[in-house]
Amino acid sequence: MSPRSRRHTAAGAALSRRAVLAAGVALVSATAGCTRFFDDEDTDTTDDLVAHAPADSTVLTHLDTSAIAAADDAQQVLDDLATVDPDHVDGVTASIEAQTGLGPLAAAEVLVFAVADAESDTTAILESDWTEAHVVESLEETTGHEYERVTDEDEPARYEPAQTPAEDSSEAALEPSALGVCGDGRFIVGDVDAVRASLAIHSDDAAAVSGPIRDAYDDARGAQIAVASESSGSPIPAEYASLVGLNTDIFDEVEAVGRSYTAVEAGVALEVRFHVGDERDATELETVLNGALPVLGELDAELEAAREDVMISRDETVVEVVYEGDANAVFALLDEV
């Protein structure tokens, strides 16, 4: 398909599917391990990182770095997931490291969340074996700012940059990150307001993300990269829909979308789940998707070649699209979901 402009989330968080997936590619590309599907039991914990994501999160991205690094061979991951937009290959993960000096690959698990109107669209919760002192030191060396604790001893620790750079450090970063500590080895790094919001959950002063986006996130878990976001409308470009006479209004009823990506021998395994408010709308969405594939295949050779391997199904109010095969066809299939 022809290039398309990047679509933002419904609430305005500038973290597109391509940027999110590129973050995962940047992360995976530096690991020593390859890919495998992970059992759902491995992700079903009572203290999941998502429990620290604020209620107004519009995008959730989970990267199981520990499981990736423990596998045998990363080459298949590199070959297939590297087909994501190369302009964003550094992505969110590289942004975290650039601002903090922290290597996300050294963490056991990473959750990136975005909230509407935040100064930065990259706030990460990291599970690691780092000490609080190590993380603070890394921030100071990287940003050129001295960091000071701004919370009382009986509150979760939050560090924010002082106004002047540390004397023995390089030039200060323009937008240094804040740091939150919510347990041994668990840190929140990124936008000041987002870090504060996450720590408020830890203190039981605010609610964590819930509703359709949390449901979409939970359903997407179990793969290398799991992404959930508010719906951004139809994945079918308006010019294509108009050309073949497709009515895509039903996509306005989608409340959240969950995606999971795993590199496999055939290329990439993709699962996309559209979460809709009621079964009638879900049935209509399933019908539209089934009708769209044949006509869109006439406009895109890669999609046409992959069409027979695409499975569309519905489970009550969730419509699922499943595909396993050539990576290029994955992105032709649903380029801007």
Tell me the pLDDT tens digit for each residue of 94-114: 777 887 888 776 788 889 898
Q: What is the mean pLDDT of residues 3-18?
A: 37
> Would the CA dihedral through 295, 300, 306, 310 be positive or negative?
negative
**64 and 105 Cβ atoms separated by less than 8 Å:** no
Q: What is the mean pLDDT of residues 307-327?
A: 91
C-alpha dihedral, 259 to 215 to 235 to 81, nearest 10°: -10
Q: What was the pLDDT predicted at 119?
A: 61
**82 and 28 Cβ atoms separated by less than 8 Å:** no
Least confident of 31-40, 184-193, 197-206: 31-40
Tell me the pLDDT tens digit for each residue of 111-141: 989 887 666 667 899 999 999 999 999 999 9
Domains of the chain from N-terminus onward: 17-202 (no CATH), 235-333 (3.30.1360)
Measured between alpha carbons, how far is 88 from 84 in angstroms, rounded to an integer? Answer: 8
Q: What was the pLDDT predicted at 246?
A: 79
Measured between alpha carbons, how far is 175 from 185 in angstroms, rounded to an integer? Answer: 24
Residue type, 270: L
Measured between alpha carbons, how far is 42 from 291 in angstroms, rounded to an integer? Answer: 37
**78 and 29 Cβ atoms separated by less than 8 Å:** yes
The whole model's pTM is what? 0.79
Look up residue 301 and give its two tokens: 């050779």
Angle, CA of 62, 148 and 141, to the nearest 5°: 70
Q: What was the pLDDT predicted at 133?
A: 96
Question: What stretch of H or E contains 312?
Answer: strand 311-315
Q: How many residues does the chain have?
A: 337
Mean pLDDT, the chain, whole residue set: 76
